[in-house]
């Protein structure tokens, strides 16, 4: 069974399509509610029990500095993608590596994945 994901509007369409093809349940903000502010995207992800997938570093500030709820995880892509298709390959690869994203802030970079626990996550307290 695939992950429940909420892709920010900045995630390329080919990546969303590829994740869906690999069995992930993906809501894409570009289709659902273009222009939604980041705090509302994060709140929706929490309500729907989804992992946020984004290219926007602001989600790190929301989760760490501002203490916004991110119990189901945030995956931030910081890759030097040559094309939307290479982003799709990176996204599929990252979500094939692990299944439990709860309480984590993950940064996917070229050649590595960094994982940090989000402070004040109920499973970590």
The full set of domain ranges for the chain reads 4-117
Query: For the chain, what is the radius of gyration of the CA atoms?
Result: 13
pLDDT digits (tens, 9 = 90+) for 32-59: 999 999 999 999 999 999 999 999 998 8
Query: 4-117 — its CATH code?
Result: 3.40.50
Contact (CB, 8 A) for 104 and 77: no
Cross-strand pairs, 115? 106
Q: Is the pLDDT of residue 123 over 50?
A: no
Per-residue confidence (pLDDT) for residue 62, from 0 to 100: 84
Strands (E), the chain: 4-7, 25-28, 51-54, 74-78, 104-109, 112-117
pLDDT digits (tens, 9 = 90+) for 94-109: 898 787 888 888 999 9
Per-residue confidence (pLDDT) for residue 125, from 0 to 100: 37
Q: With cut-offs at 50, 70 and 90, classify the pLDDT of residue 66.
A: low
Q: Which residue has the higher pLDDT, 2 or 20?
A: 20
Q: Is the pLDDT of residue 116 over 50?
A: yes
Per-residue confidence (pLDDT) for residue 10, from 0 to 100: 94
> CA 69: distance to chain centroid?
14
Per-residue confidence (pLDDT) for residue 23, from 0 to 100: 94
């Amino acid at each position: 069974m695939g992950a429940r994901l909420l892709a920010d509007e900045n995630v390329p369409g080919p990546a969303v399509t590829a994740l869906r093809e690999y069995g992930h349940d993906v809501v894409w903000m570009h289709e659902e509610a273009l222009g939604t502010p980041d705090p509302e995207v994060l709140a929706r992800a929490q309500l729907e029990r989804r992992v946020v997938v984004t290219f926007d570093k602001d989600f790190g500030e929301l989760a760490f500095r501002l203490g916004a709820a991110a119990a189901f995880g945030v995956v931030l892509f910081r890759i030097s993608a040559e094309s939307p298709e290479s982003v799709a390959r990176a996204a599929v690869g990252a979500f094939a590596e692990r299944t439990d994203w709860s309480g984590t802030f993950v940064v996917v970079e070229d050649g590595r994945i960094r994982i940090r626990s989000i402070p004040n996550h109920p499973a970590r307290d």
